[in-house]
Amino acid sequence: MMRSRRCAWIWKLLVAAALLVGCGDEPSPAPRTPAAPAARAADSLTIVAMGDSLTEGLGVAEEQAYPALLEARLRELGYDVSVINAGISGETSSGALTRVPWVLDFAPAVVILTTGANDGFRGIDPSVIHRNIDAIVDQLQRAGIVVVLGGMQMSRNLGRPYTEAFAAVYPRVARERGALLVPFFLDGVAGVPSLNQSDGIHPNAAGYRRIVETVLPSVRQALERLR
Amino acid sequence: VLHRRFILRQIGRSPGQSLLLVLAVMLAIATLTALSGLSSTVHRMLRLEARRLQAADILVRSSAPFSPPLLAAVERLETRGAAISAMVHEMNVMARRVDEGAATLASAKVVAPGYPFYGEVTLASGRALAEVLAAGRVVVESGLLQRLELTVGDALRVGDTTLTIADVLLSEPDRPLRFFAPGARLLLAAADLEALGLVTAGSRVRYLLLVKVHQPGDEEQLAAELRAASEPERERVDTWRSADSGMRRYFDNLVFFLSLAGAFTLVLAGIGIASTLAALVADKRRTIAILKTVGATGRFVTTQFLVVLLLLGLAGTACGIALGLAIQAALSAALRGVLPVVAEVTLSAAALGSGLLLGLTAVGLFGCLPLLRLHSIAPAAILRLEVPLPRRAGAFHMAALASTVLACWLLRLSLEDAATWIRFLLGLGIGLGCAALAARIGLTALMRLRRGPLLLRQAVRGLARPGGTAVASVTSLTVALTALLSLLLVERELNAAFVNAYPADAPALFFIDIQPHQQERFRALVGAQAPLYPVVRAQVTAVNGNPVDREAERQRRRDNLSRTFNLTYRDHLLGDEILLAGRSLFGDGTTAVPVSVLDTAAGMEAVRPGDTIAFRIAGLPLEATVTSIRRRTRQSLQPFFYFVLPESVIGRAPQTLFSAVSATGERSAELQRRVAAALPNVSAIDASETARTLAALLGKLAVVLRLIAGLAVVAGLLIVVSSVLATGAARMRETVYYTMLGARRRFVLGVFALEHLVLGTMSAVLALGMSQIASGVLIRGVLDLPQRFFVRDSLLAAAGAALLVTLVGLAACWPTLRVRPATVLQVLSEE
């Protein structure tokens, strides 16, 4: 407990310093290099949970969202890992592609990528989503990162042609890039009122506990690959 | 015993004063009657608009299929003939060309027959929706046709079925005023719902149940029945009263403004009648003293004069009612076609009652009380130039108390809310006290003027003459002008905050999710001037070190800290922002990580400058110190951000860009097409229909606002004019003295002009300050809007008021300047 508090304090200082140092006048899509992830990675393996509000844990406490629960679960299983919640609510696959360098600065060993739901809600062409996710996985893998891809499905009201094309993006990328695939990230959660918040979209704390069990096998597989 | 000849003679002996009293009462009653009619029209209009905005009396919403108990409750209402209902399903769909070509996201609305219960769907063909919409047909917005390059009569694939495009949708009454979603609108018939195959397990659908009640006024009771049968966790039952249409705040503010205008008119009317009555009674004081000298009893005198006042008051009331009805008829004719409801000509019992009560109260307070004080006047007083008032008796105190209670109760009728009434009375009391004190101090200071031109010294002496009413005049004028200026300032504020905030050319086409590296390309497509706002998504994790409890936050009905916020970076305030706290956006530059917070967000946790807010941005924590609190000065479709940080802090955080462009019709469609082709990840939100709906509604409300303010202000000014005329007409004696002493008419005119200029300027200056305070309390405290001071307009209004008082005062004195001294002396000696 003491250790984690001290880490958090150092973390804040380092982050504030990193945010202030080295920023030019010209805004640049390239993120600054935070020193913190490296310090954190020194004593444990870093897993970055990259995604949208489903990863961020919109509407639930940070410790109830799946990245925190996953970290606890993996530690229970004897893995010395830390899981960074790098979810951004509302983010599309295009936004995720743009911030890959930001994620690389965390120096992760594993990235759990769950993106595309917001693209679907906006009716973005599945080929665009495929192109983005494919590029993200490619960039991460080139950096030596093991990618776990969280598969998504789109709500049925968008019609069969769209939902089928959308759902096909994830297995195709996983197959073509050799990434580990969680067939459906919200398996057993989507459409179950007791596992979702009142908006019917975002999981509640119980929903996230279920999600941890869904992604755990693939993440363990990823960690095994690293050994 | 009433002495008819005596009463008529008394009325005839002071024709000017009598006429002014009748005029003041008439104006007061006419304004109250006209305002009452307008109030009824406005309330009917707001009821209609509120119903139109949800197309029903009762609206039930859910994100899942309605529960069986709720549906059973609706069926029961229909069976017993209390209401009818219509089901609506809203969802996003992909609309496709049948040739498997282009597809686009659309916002579909599947409606049952009967929709909409209020308002109307307007179609390009001009036909009614019921004639056009049937199974196998679809009505679409033109944006969709342009996007898919289709026309009316073509086929459109939606879900599992193919539909024929039957017409072009121009507007729908219940489109939410916060409708900001990508995709054009489609209207489909409920008969096609099953064929669409889109409402199934795993679909995201918004379920709406529209209910129209048969008996107006039953909606609250029927809504309570439905609420009792609903699942409160996911089914929400609203009547047009409780639903937040997005315009509710404006509606509430308009109703408040209406009651405020009524209350201020009452105060103005009271002051006007009081001034004219006081002048009339003062005019009769010498007559009363003479009557008593020749043996008349106090009771006889009081009774006769009370009847004089009541007769004049009744005459004024009758004329006022006639004029009020005439104004209503004129308004009704003028507003035909402008407002959605016909302004009826009505004489409500409430308006008539409050008018009569006002007359009684005014006669009681300002007529009866001086008469009661004269009840025991010593006949010897006739020998003195000015008649001093005797000590006040018990009957006087009783009458004063009764009249005050009646006046307060009248105001209570005008201001429906008890808390507002108490605050209004308190404010009025404080205002009267301050005005009286300031008038006394100001006039005392002027009296000390020993040097200066003779004209000025005479004018100042004139104000201090024995038995003079300068303090009372300044006090009443100040309160009256304060009421008028406050009303004008509140009206200006409401206009600035709502009506003017939605100009026709305001950007209503929004592009979201532009990636930083797409900036140049986007500008090349849309125009180099297109503004781009960086958006950095972040969660608030702690405030002042206290972690945010998301579960508790989510329980709040209003905006809360459980969600993800849009942060931005810039170093300046926007045109519609002001600083509420802090000297600049980011303080003096010594704060490592400063953040400027919008007051709406600051209110969630009562954040102040110096407090700390911890954010989490894409996995990184960031603690910032609040350096300023901002406020938006108007409601608008303009983008706004709760948290603004310097670019040096978050300029390199993961971000997207957002743009707002001014484009409608074909140009909007062309831009959307161009951007979609070149940057398929960028989504367009066309809010022009929402902007049009808002502009149309606000246009109607602006007319009402101007009418209320105009009516109250014009009537108020006339009442002020009548009271100045009444007090000014009592100057005849001074004119005679000046003339007898050899003064020329020009000199006398100068003295009177200066005297009124002093009165008017003093009242206007005091009213200027007091109205800023009063309107500030109303605007900030009651309307919850930022206060603008409208300095130029306020100064102009105050200068105008001072000039008006001077001119009217002079006009009142003018006839006496033309009277020969001998004539006046003859009249005085006759007395």
pLDDT, mean of residues B670-699: 83
| Residue of B89, B620, B647 best to disrupt the A interface, most CBs of A under 10 A | B620
Token representation of residue B296 = 């008349």
User: Measured between beta carbons, which residues in chain B are less than 8 angstroms from residue A119?
Assistant: 681
In A, which residues are within 8 Å of B93 by CB distance?
A: 157-159
CB of A79 within 8 Å of a chain B CB? The answer is no
Q: Name the active-site residue from A28, A194, A198, A199.
A: A199
Chain B residue whose CA is closest to A101? B654
pLDDT for residue B746? 82
Is residue B446 very low, low, confident or very high in pLDDT (cuts 50, 70, 90)?
A: confident
Strands (E), B81-203: 83-97, 103-111, 122-123, 137-141, 155-158, 161-171, 184-189
pLDDT band at B711 (very low <50, low <70, confident <90, very high): confident
B204 at A interface, C-beta within 8 A? yes
Q: Do A121 and B562 touch (CB under 8 A)?
A: no
Ranges A176-185, B360-369, B392-401, most confident: A176-185
Note the pLDDT of residue B828: 57
Distance from the first to the final alpha carbon of chain B: 24
Look at residue A131 in the predicted model and tell me its pLDDT.
96
pLDDT in tens, A168-193: 999 999 999 999 999 999 999 998 88
B11: pLDDT confidence band, cut at 50, 70 and 90?
Answer: confident
Which pLDDT score is estimated for A8?
37
CB contact under 8 A, A88 and B654: yes
Partners of residue A89 in chain B, C-beta under 8 Å: 537, 539, 563-564
**Residue A170's pLDDT is what?**
98
CA distance B347 to B461: 48
pLDDT of residue A138: 97
The pLDDT, as a whole number, for residue B214 is 92
Do residue B515 and residue A95 have CB atoms under 8 angstroms apart? yes
- Chain B nearest-CA residue for A87: B618
Cβ distance A201 to B205 less than 8 Å, yes or no, reads: no
Q: Is the pLDDT of residue A35 over 80?
A: no
Does the structure show a pLDDT above 70 at B379?
Answer: no
Interchain pair A58, B534: CB under 8 A? no
- Residue A77's pLDDT is 94
Q: Is A122 on the interface with B (CB under 8 A)?
A: yes
Residue B778 pLDDT class (50, 70, 90 cuts): confident
**What pLDDT does residue B247 have?**
65
- Whether A158 has its CB under 8 Å from any CB of chain B: the answer is yes
Span A77-104, average pLDDT:
94
Number of A to B CB contacts under 8 A, please give it: 177
**pLDDT higher than threshold 90 for residue B151:** yes
- Give the pLDDT score at B313: 84
State whether B159 and A102 contact (CB < 8 Å): no
Q: Which of residues 26-45 of A touch B (CB under 8 A)?
A: 27-32, 34, 36
Look at residue B514 in the predicted model and tell me its pLDDT: 95
Identify the top-confidence range among A171-185, B591-605, B655-669: A171-185
Neighbours of B632 (CB within 10 A): 19
What is the model's pLDDT at position A29?
Answer: 34
Q: Considering the candidates A52, A53, A93, A105, report the single residue annotated as catalytic.
A: A53
B183 in contact with chain A, both atoms CB, cutoff 8 A: yes
Instruction: Out of B202, B619, B656, name the one closest to residue A84 (CB).
Output: B619
CA dihedral over B15, B17, B21, B24, signed as positive or negative: positive
Confidence of residue A19 (pLDDT cuts 50, 70, 90): very low
Residue B290 has pLDDT above 90, yes or no: no
Residue A130 designated active-site: no
**Whether pLDDT at B377 is above 70:** no
B685 and chain A in contact, CB less than 8 A: no
- Is the peptide bond between B116 and the residue preceding it cis, with omega within 30 degrees of 0? yes
A124 to chain B: nearest residue by CA? B681
pLDDT of residue A2 exceeding 70: no
pTM of the full structure: 0.71
Q: Is A155 a catalytic residue?
A: no
Cβ contacts (< 8 Å) between A12 and chain B: which residues?
621, 623
Top pLDDT among A42 and A160 is at A160
Asked if A91 and B537 come within 8 Å (Cβ–Cβ), the reply is yes
Nearest CA in chain B to A205: B551
The lowest-confidence range among A113-127, B96-110, B440-454 is: B440-454
B234 close contact with A: CB closer than 8 A? yes
**Whole-complex ipTM:** 0.78
Where would I find the H helices in B211-247?
A: 219-229
More confident of the two residues A28 and B192: B192
Q: Among A25-39, A157-171, B5-19, B806-820, name the most confident range.
A: A157-171
Average model confidence (pLDDT) for chain B?
82
Distance CA B499, CA B522 (A): 32
Residues of B in contact with A27 (CB under 8 A): 516, 534, 647, 651-652
**B chain contacts of residue A184, beta-carbon cutoff 8 Å:** none
What pLDDT does residue A166 have?
A: 97
Give the distance from residue A227's alpha carbon to the nearest chain B alpha carbon, in angstroms: 26
pLDDT value of position B391: 53
Q: Chain A within 8 Å of B622 (Cβ-Cβ)?
A: yes
Contacts of A97 in chain B (CB under 8 A): 515
The arithmetic mean of pLDDT across residues B817-830, rounded, is 65
| CB pair distance less than 8 Å for A60 and B551 | yes
pLDDT of residue A9: 33
Tell me what pLDDT residue B63 has.
85
- Please give the average per-residue pLDDT across B14-36, as a whole number: 81
Q: Can you give the pLDDT at residue A141?
A: 97
Among A47-51, B404-408, B438-442, B488-492, the range of highest mean pLDDT: A47-51
Q: What is the mean pLDDT of residues B747-767?
A: 87
pLDDT of residue B395 exceeding 70: no
The pLDDT assigned to B784 comes to 73
B675 in contact with chain A, both atoms CB, cutoff 8 A: no
Sequence-separated (6 or more) residues with CB below 8 Å from residue B667: none
Q: How far apart are CA B13 and CA B34, in angstroms?
A: 33
Task: Report CB contact under 8 Å: A157, B592.
Answer: no
Higher pLDDT, B191 or B636: B191
Pick from B404, B376, B380: nearest CA to B389: B376
Give the model's pLDDT for residue A164. Answer: 95
Q: Inter-chain contact A123–B94, Cβ cutoff 8 Å?
A: yes
> A196-203: long-range contacts at Cβ-Cβ below 8 A with a sequence spacing of 24 or more?
A197/A59, A197/A60, A197/B554, A198/B63, A198/B233, A198/B234, A199/A59, A199/B63, A200/B63, A200/B64, A200/B204, A201/B204, A202/A53, A202/A54, A202/A58, A202/A59, A202/A60, A203/A54, A203/A60, A203/A66
pLDDT value, residue B811: 80
Interface of B with A in 396-455 (CB under 8 A): none
Beta carbons of A128 and B681 less than 8 Å apart: yes
In residues, how long is chain B? 831
Lowest mean pLDDT among A102-116, B297-311, B500-514, B810-824: B810-824
Average pLDDT over residues A26-37: 34
CA atoms of B802 and B807, how far apart (whole Å):
9
Q: What are the CB-based long-range contacts (under 8 Å, 24+) for B282-289?
A: B282/B370, B282/B469, B282/B730, B283/B14, B283/B17, B283/B730, B284/B10, B284/B14, B285/B374, B285/B377, B285/B387, B286/B382, B286/B387, B286/B831, B287/B10, B287/B13, B287/B831, B288/B374, B288/B377, B289/B377, B289/B379, B289/B381, B289/B382, B289/B387
Q: Which of A35-44, A101-110, B468-477, B755-764 has the lowest mean pLDDT?
A: A35-44
When comparing pLDDT for B734 and B455, which is higher?
B455
Cβ of A99 within 8 Å of Cβ of B654? The answer is yes
Q: What's the whole-number mean pLDDT along residues B734-763?
A: 80
In chain A, residues with a C-beta closer than 8 Å to the C-beta of B549 are 61
Among A91, A158, A199, the residue with its CB nearest the CB of B63 is A199
Most trustworthy range by pLDDT among B154-158, B546-550, B558-562, B730-734: B154-158
Residue B561 has pLDDT above 90, yes or no: no
Indicate if the alpha-carbon torsion angle B797, B801, B807, B811 is positive or negative: positive
Mean pLDDT of chain A: 83
**How many percent of chain B have pLDDT more than 70?**
86
Taking a contact as any Cβ pair under 8 Å apart, which residues of chain B between 454 and 513 contact chain A?
Answer: 513
Segment B63-77 shows an average pLDDT of: 93
Most confidently predicted of B88-92, B100-104, B181-185, B301-305: B88-92
**Which of B94, B517, B539 has its CB closest to that of A56?**
B539
Interface test with B, best of A54, A58, A63, A88 (most B CBs within 10 A): A88
Chain-chain contact of A201 with B549 (C-beta, under 8 angstroms): no
Residue B195: what pLDDT?
A: 94
The pLDDT value recorded for residue B246 is 61
Of A137, A135, A55, A211, the closest CA to residue B619 belongs to A55
A31 CA: distance to closest CA in chain B (Å): 5
DSSP state of B340: S
Query: In the predicted model, is pLDDT for residue B272 greater than 60?
Result: yes
Question: What is the distance in angstroms between the Cα of A169 and the nearest Cα belonging to chain B?
Answer: 16
Nearest 5 degrees, angle CA B512-CA B516-CA B520? 95
Closest CA to A169 of A224, A125, A107, A220: A125
Q: Is the CB of A162 less than 8 angstroms away from the CB of B94?
A: yes
The stretch B207-221 carries a mean pLDDT of 91
| Region of B55 on the Ramachandran plot (φ > 0 left; ψ -120 to 50 alpha; else beta) | left
* pLDDT at residue B93 in the model: 95
pLDDT digits (tens, 9 = 90+) for B471-499: 888 888 888 889 888 888 888 888 877 77
Is B390 a residue whose pLDDT tops 60? Answer: no
Residue A63 vs residue B576, higher pLDDT: A63
pLDDT reading at B607 higher than 90: no
Contact between residue B764 and residue B481 where contact means Cβ atoms under 8 Å apart: yes
Contact criterion met (CB below 8 Å) for B294 and B46: no
A10 touches chain B (CB under 8 A): no
Mean per-residue pLDDT, B789-816: 84
pLDDT higher than 70, residue B396 = no
Choose among A132, A162, A94, A152: nearest CA to B104. A162
Nearest to B167 by CA among B152, B184, B145: B152
